[in-house]
A = this chain, B = another copy of it.
Amino acid sequence: MCGIAGTINVPLASETIRMMLHALQNRGQEAAGIVSIDGIKKHEYRLKGTVNEFPQEELDALVGSIAIGHNRYPTATNSDGPKNMQPFLMTVDNEPIAIAHNGNFTNIPTLKAQDLTGVPFVSESDTEVFFRLLLRAWRKDLLEKSIIDTLAKMQGSCTAIITLPGRLVAIRDSTGNRPLVWGRCGDGYAIASESSALDAIGVLQWQEVKPGTMVSFTTDGSVITSKEFGDGKLRLCPFEWVYFAQITSNIFGIPVSDIREAFGRELAKEDVLEADLVLGIPDSGTLSATGYGEASSTGTFAPHAIMRRHNTGRTFIKSGQAKRERGVADKFGFATDKIAGKRVVVVDDSLVRGTTSRKITEELRARGATQVHWRIPSPPVIGPCHYGIATKTGELLAADHTVDQMREYIDADSLEFLSLDRFKEVIERHGVSASDCCFACMDGNYWTKD
């Protein structure tokens, strides 16, 4: 999961990108980068951390009216040096070309072995493979065609923003797996992973980059939308609604806050649990807890009985050093006087590893909770995501535990998930066909071969 943003023909382009990346911080905080294009001059800056850590003078130096940016999500790669930070930037025939990519390609080893023997790589990133294939297919007279043809070779998921000489291009693969939206911004245009990032810069009218299309924005003001490519089969990622996206975003046509509450309400519908208190794990569990609390007849909703401490300040942990174990109480605050003596229902967005959940149960019991019930408004995650989220098989509790074993592991009195069927029903009620979504991590039906 990453966040991308681009802008063309907008004054203070880099500051505009900074604001969008800041609004997209939910999509990645490991590294941030901005590339700006000023005619044929390029400027670039990337750092480990978040975009608001850019020194002001570095931001000021990113001049030019075209700019793109990237927030990087923490990944498992060990040697995660500066070379893997995006946007990627290369110079071809003295013209700078840059790319920011959100998604994941699944056929990299095959491509490297078949099409790219002897080709030198500067990074470990799948994006570089796409970029090199693209630059190899490069025809100045057929810029857009080169991109679409190259994307056709890739398997997996791709939304990307690319700077070309005199234009900015937004592309979304035909599965539409990841979101990408654009809108008019003053006399120019802005593109971003989520609508909330456009909203943050005052672009209140926006539209999707439709799955299987490419939109080109030229410096002379034209907007050219490509013909649709691909097989038309959609694979929208429902975890965007459950966990990733900002609650103020509209993703795949659905307001995130609406559907997140609805998942919670649906979970409550057939729940006969008797309890005293409903609380949600902030931030992403809060709205589902609100929905659950409203729909349930069981006890008071106390949304703030758990609060999340903002990480004001950063303990800089050097890579390779052992990270000092700091308890869940350093991350969350508990309103002990609300919890003591109560039967508590805890709503969290999903249950992946289970380690934090177990510790939260322990903290709640230590504070006098007589029962601790967990309610998850999404189905169990039984397999890894190949399309942009860094979950490893070995870390997925649901991969090799029954629900009751999971309940035991997190030491809960009960544990319920929203079933896949009812999860799909909620989605359909919001106007999106379940057959247009990817449930691979929940049902194992992966749609790529490599």
User: Assuming A82-B82, A138-B118, is B334 touching A29 (CB within 8 A)?
Assistant: no
Residues of B within 8 A of A310 (CB): 25, 310-311
Copies in the complex: 4
Give which listed residue, B92, B250, B330, contacts A120 with CB less than 8 A. B92
Give which listed residue, B45, B53, B138, B246, contacts A307 with CB less than 8 A. B246
A320 within 8 A of partner (CB): yes
User: Assuming A23-B309, A307-B246, is B335 touching A257 (CB within 8 A)?
Assistant: yes
Residues of B within 8 A of A49 (CB): 313
Q: Is the CB of A118 within 8 A of B135?
A: yes
User: Assuming A19-B330, A336-B199, A336-B204, is B248 touching A307 (CB within 8 A)?
Assistant: yes
Residues of B within 8 A of A307 (CB): 246-248
A449 within 8 A of partner (CB): no
Q: Is the CB of A200 within 8 A of B92?
A: no
Q: Which of A315, A316, A317 has the most CB of B within 10 A?
A: A315
User: Assuming A56-B324, A303-B290, A338-B255, is B311 touching A200 (CB within 8 A)?
Assistant: no
Q: Is the CB of A22 within 8 A of B330?
A: yes
Q: How distant is the Cα of A90 from the Cα of B313 in the complex, in angstroms?
A: 28
Mark A302-324 against chain B: 1 for CB-CB distance below 8 A, else 0.
Answer: 11110101111111111111001
Q: Is the CB of A335 within 8 A of B202?
A: no
Q: Is the CB of A202 within 8 A of B333?
A: no
Q: Is the CB of B311 within 8 A of A52?
A: yes
Q: Is the CB of B204 within 8 A of A366?
A: yes
Give which listed residue, B246, B313, B329, contacts A200 with CB less than 8 A. B329
Q: Is the CB of B56 within 8 A of A315?
A: yes
A163 within 8 A of partner (CB): no
Residues of B within 8 A of A135 (CB): 118-120
* CB-nearest residue of chain B to A113: B93
* CB-nearest residue of chain B to A205: B336
CB pairs A–B below 8 angstroms (30 shown): A22-B309, A23-B309, A25-B310, A29-B312, A32-B313, A41-B79, A43-B79, A52-B313, A55-B316, A57-B318, A57-B321, A61-B319, A90-B120, A90-B122, A91-B120, A91-B121, A92-B118, A93-B112, A94-B112, A120-B135, A122-B122, A195-B336, A199-B336, A202-B329, A204-B336, A246-B333, A247-B304, A255-B338, A287-B304, A290-B303
Give A contacts to B, CB under 8 Å. Answer: 19, 22-23, 25, 29, 32, 41-45, 49-57, 61, 79, 81-82, 89-94, 97, 112, 117-122, 124, 131-132, 135-136, 138, 195-196, 199-202, 204, 246-248, 250, 255, 257, 286-287, 290, 302-305, 307, 309-321, 324, 326, 329-330, 333-338, 366-368
